[in-house]
A = this chain, B = another copy of it.
């Protein structure tokens, strides 16, 4: 037996902060890119920028005060109301009604049904006057619980929080004749797919022209991401496989073709290649249709899969394996398969110019349970689709004492920890939008960072393409 010298040691010894690269292969591929990114960040002097922007500024303070006033008088009550009337994704009619009515009452023109999604909207302030274009994303769908819908991820507050910041900054721009436009995006069904609402809306050009987008999200910590590209939970492909066969009575099953056997062999085929796929992949499925009656050969069956890998380049190979597993299952069973790639979550882009400013404001406005080190890079929305094209930040101060997706976080919606966190988020969002609208050098720095990271991201993907070669299989003799 031979000895292997631990060749991977070098990579381990670099003290990294919040890196996106999860595997040794990725770390090796990212080596040059990460060095260039360090250079980029160094050139921006983000600490100096943040220090300058967060200094005393009465105009900003007025906007922040107006934000708080809107929450205290009406919007925290709206958050409580939505929290106690939870609606699941794509059925948030009551919730979106509250939000859109408020926007209309405060000078916004609301277009409902964007991208053919009935509860999606785009709301533009009627006083909008040119660039910079400031965007605010709000969500409102509840989680599906075994006892019915509940707001265990606090999307109930995202609308009111976003509205407070959007209305306050809109009023400021109009009042001060500062050039700039404010758009609020209502994005439904974040917790469900298909469809992926933000990806659909982006494809329908709903976000086109935005210069920056802010959003709030519940959390048990006050934190921010490191700059770069990444995602919390791997790149994901959501795919449905629908098989059709031919029905037959059980007694003469050879007159049929069994679609359930095809689904079963889809799973078997995937299991067969698990050790031919890098171990960081996560492939898991459920059977959503498994036949109607045991005495009739199932002529239709369906499975739903989430396919995950740390990066999107190798993910494509993994998804090919799963698609081929389905095609092979159809071929072997004499059935037909329809493959529906319904969802694509990808690495997003985060910028230190926005993240560190957000972090400073959150601390300034009283954000609690502060995490000192930046987390893994990730975009301001979960699909990665929008944040690759538009700079932005997901503001995230502590709004609960419990982890996300819990009944306890739902209860914190109505408590002081929730209301305080929502207020900090709204104030922070208003401040960032204020700085972006009023400070041209800051806008330039954000743009420079975003463009730089976007370029490096492309470079990284090219490096990965070279890394992940497919093994050569010779013809059998």
Contact = CB atoms under 8 A, between A and B. Distances in A.
Contacts of A275: 253-254, 258, 274, 282-284, 297
A5 B375 contact: yes
A27 B416 CA distance: 39
Contact of A329 (B234, B321, B328): B328
Given A267-B261, A294-B304, A329-B328, A3 B219 contact: yes
A271 interface: yes
Interface string A284-317: 1111101111110110110111101000000000
Given A3-B232, A271-B272, A276-B334, 9 more contacts: A2-B153, A9-B373, A245-B471, A255-B471, A264-B268, A268-B271, A275-B297, A290-B290, A324-B332
A273 B242 contact: no
A395 to B, nearest CB: 12
A465 B473 CA distance: 39
Contacts of A301: 287
A68 B276 CA distance: 49
Contact of A477 (B12, B191, B242, B325): B242
A196 to B, nearest CB: 11
A291 B287 contact: yes
Given A294-B306, A308-B251, A333-B273, A246 B472 contact: yes
Nearest to A295: B306
A79 to B, nearest CB: 19
| This protein's copies in its complex | 4
A273 B421 CA distance: 43
16 contacts: A2-B404, A3-B232, A4-B233, A5-B223, A9-B17, A9-B18, A13-B16, A244-B473, A260-B286, A261-B272, A275-B297, A276-B334, A288-B290, A290-B303, A328-B329, A334-B473
A325 B330 CA distance: 10
Contact of A1 (B232, B276, B290, B291): B232
Contacts of A1: 190-191, 232-233, 345, 382
